[in-house]
Amino acid sequence: MRVGGMAVVEGVLMIGKRASLAVRKGDEIVVEDMGRLQKAKLSKVPFIRGFYNLYYSLKFGIDALNRSVEIVEGQEMKKGEKILSIILAIFLAIGLFFYLPMGITYILKPLRGNEFLFSLVEGTIRVMIFVLYVWFISLMKDVKRMFMYHGAEHKTINAYEAGEELTVENVKRYSRIHERCGTNFLMIFMITSVVVYSILAIFFKPTFEYRLISRAVAIPALISIAYEILALSSESKVFSITFNSFGKLLQLVTTREPEDDMLEVSIEALKASLSGEGEDVEIMM
């Protein structure tokens, strides 16, 4: 079966039959069950499944990230703090990666009447901001460790998908780059935005108000298209080379070579996620 996951604070979330969290606390590896996906026909419907799977990826991811902080720090987060952090993250993402690039591009007056060029320049600025943001946070000590756990997650899944026995020595030989990584999805999402916003301009007058509204309204369509491209990329070498190349290059930043004890955590998370009952998933990682 396919599995997915994500790095958290000093640990890894794996989603297979179940969602399982493994976090290192000193010499101990704390493993907790985070639940399982509910079977739904929507999870298999093209252009709708993206929302379903992204929802569960975010749901389990946010819950696991908050729980990992609680385990490491030894104290429970308040519900209000969790909700506030989610709201702030959403506003930061939309403002930083959508409205800031649009505002910068709007300053260039010659581009205002040509939506294709406007979207092209805006999209280029968006990708540049995203890459610079990832590079900047990668310099932080805590984020470096999380990126190492991200590498451990990818190596473990690559070893599992190759049919290897899940031992540290086996897993460490595998690549820290993976086709279904969320980094690939984000890069595809941003590149797709250039095309979608340009097409929308055919039907709507490219005013400031239109751009302000369309940048938010078109996000669902961008998610659907980007997810389908990502799904095809994991099955087709042509799609992978065409659409995943930039994402794979960025994975060299968002993943780092993990230490052996990090691989141990990732292996425990994957083993726990494959135990018990559950459904096959199409989760990004």
Q: Tell me whether residue 281 is in a domain.
A: no
User: Is residue 172 one of the residues assigned to a domain?
Assistant: yes
User: What value does the mean pLDDT of the chain take?
Assistant: 87
Does residue 146 sit within a domain? Answer: yes
User: Look-up: residue for tokens 């290192």?
Assistant: 24
112-135 average pLDDT score: 86
Tally of domains in the chain: 1
- Give the separation between CA 7 and CA 114, rounded to whole angstroms: 41
The whole-number pLDDT of residue 40 equals: 66
Is 70 exceeded by the pLDDT of residue 284? no
pLDDT beyond 80 at 285: no
Q: What is the pLDDT of residues 48-75, one digit of tens each?
A: 888 888 888 888 899 999 999 999 998 8
pLDDT digits (tens, 9 = 90+) for 71-96: 999 888 777 777 888 888 888 888 99
Asked if residue 62 belongs to a domain, the reply is yes
pTM above 0.75, yes or no: yes
Residue type, 173: R
Q: Taking residues 97-112, what's their average pLDDT?
A: 86
Residue 274 is predicted with a pLDDT of 92
- Give the three-state DSSP class for 36: coil
Angle at 57 between CA 265 and CA 65, to 5 degrees: 50
For residues 274-285, give the mean pLDDT. 60
Q: Please state, in angstroms and rounded to a whole number, the distance separating the CA atoms of residues 109 and 8.
A: 43
Task: Please name which of 80, 109, 115 lies closest in space to residue 204, comparing C-alpha atoms.
Answer: 115
Return phi, psi of residue 24, to 5°.
Answer: -90, 125
**Beta pairing, strands 4-8 & 19-25:** unpaired
Provide the 3-class DSSP secondary structure of residue 14: strand
pLDDT tens digit sequence for 181-226:
889 998 898 888 888 887 877 777 777 788 888 888 888 888 899 9
Enter the DSSP assignment of 98.
I
Q: For residues 27 and 217, what is the distance between their CA atoms, to the nearest angstrom?
A: 48
Number of H helices, E strands in the chain: 11, 4
For residue 282, pLDDT over 70 is answered with no
Query: Tokens at residue 240, please?
Result: 């992978």
Residue 279 maps to a domain: no
Does residue 280 form part of some domain?
no
Which amino acid does the sequence have at 197? Answer: Y
Residue 159 inside a domain? The answer is yes
pLDDT of residue 211: 80
24: enclosing H helix or E strand = strand 19-25
In a domain, 127, yes or no: yes
Beta bridge partners of 21: 13, 32
Query: Range of 252's domain?
Result: 4-273
Select from 56, 70, 277, 21 the least CA-distant residue to 182.
Answer: 56
State the pLDDT at residue 277: 58
> Of the candidates 220, 183, 194, which has an alpha carbon nearest to the alpha carbon of residue 7?
183
